[in-house]
Chain A
Amino acid sequence: MELFVFVVAAAMVLAGALGVVTRSNPVHAAMSLVLTLFGIAVMFVSHNAHFLAAVQVIVYAGAIVVLFLFVIMLLGVDKAEDLSVEPITNQRPLAAIIGVGISAIVIAAIISSRAGLGASGEGVNETTIDSPDANIRQLARVIFSDNVFAFEITSVLLLVAVVGTVVMARKNKSVGIGK
């Protein structure tokens, strides 16, 4: 059963990723991105990371992809672009070699070191019928105790991102930003 879930989710992830890279229409690429993100969410569920799976669907598929589509529609670039031109000579073969090379190096490292990783932590709680909130409880305990400073800094980061985006995207009448 777990194998079946893995194969289906992996097919979703890879098909979506190839779609993002190869589709000429940005809207189609965004839809392929949704497919990939859902596949990743399925894999999170099969690793007992239920909170992250929910956040993945809500934040990525719900917010980020909608933001992408919103900008695509706002800018009016929802037309298929010509992918047959290659601006830099030999760009695509070189990019393919580099990408495949990165993957191959990482896969070689994974396979050569797969025996060295044993269970060393305190354990990840599994969500069951009796304790449906086991994962989110454990996650919350770690975030709000060991990582509480990083969590607070995160709110500053989001505030800076919001203010910065408003400053950049508004129509500048007198201030010299973006002139």
Chain B
Amino acid sequence: MNIILSVVQPTSTWYLILSAVLFGIGTIGVMVRRNPLIMFMCIELMLNAVNLSFVALSSQIADIDGQVAVFFVLVVAAAEVVVGLGIIVSIMRRRTTLTVDDMSGLKG
């Protein structure tokens, strides 16, 4: 057991594959769930998948720029959540149920 633990080291490829799987789960969540709050959480999952691949590649190519990109993604994610939740709160003022199917007022 100790030999396996010392020989097999997780490489960047493992992290990138995990991040691809996480992105796929987030995509499925956005497409399947009808609650806008859960859809926002799934968008956060996708953003985190991208952050993970940024950091993994940053250490693989030995360049700090990947971590800088993650820093800005964090800021944009925070701003996006604040605005999105503000929109949801103002929509919920005039409705009782929270599903995106009820928000078809802009449908052409």
Contacts and interface: CB of A to CB of B under 8 A. Distances in A.
Does B associate with A?
yes
B17 A26 contact: no
Contact of A33 (B45, B51, B74, B77): B45
Interface in B1-50: 4-5, 8-10, 12-18, 20-29, 31-35, 37-38, 40-42, 44-45, 48
B45 A103 contact: no
Interface size grouping (class) on chain A: 35 or more
Nearest to A151: B72
Contacts, number: 233
A21 B42 contact: yes
Interface string B66-84: 0110111011111111110
Contacts of A166: 86
Contacts of A135: 67
Contacts of A55: 71, 74
Q: Which of A21, A60, A98, A120 counts the most chain B CB atoms within 10 A?
A: A21
Contacts of A142: 64-65, 68
Main secondary structure of the interface of A (DSSP, over half): helix
Interface of A: 1-4, 6, 10, 13-14, 17-18, 20-21, 26, 29-30, 33, 36-37, 40, 43-44, 47-49, 51-52, 55-56, 59-60, 63-64, 67-68, 71-72, 74-75, 77, 81, 87, 91-92, 94-96, 98-100, 102-103, 106-107, 110-111, 114, 117-125, 135, 138-139, 142-143, 146-147, 150, 154, 157-158, 160-162, 164-166, 168-169, 178
Q: Which 8 A-B pairs give the minimum distances between C-beta atoms?
A: A121-B63, A103-B24, A99-B28, A95-B31, A165-B86, A161-B79, A21-B29, A119-B62
9 contacts: A2-B10, A21-B28, A52-B67, A60-B74, A119-B61, A122-B64, A124-B59, A143-B68, A178-B90
Interface of B: 4-5, 8-10, 12-18, 20-29, 31-35, 37-38, 40-42, 44-45, 48, 51-52, 55-65, 67-68, 70-72, 74-83, 85-90, 92, 98, 101
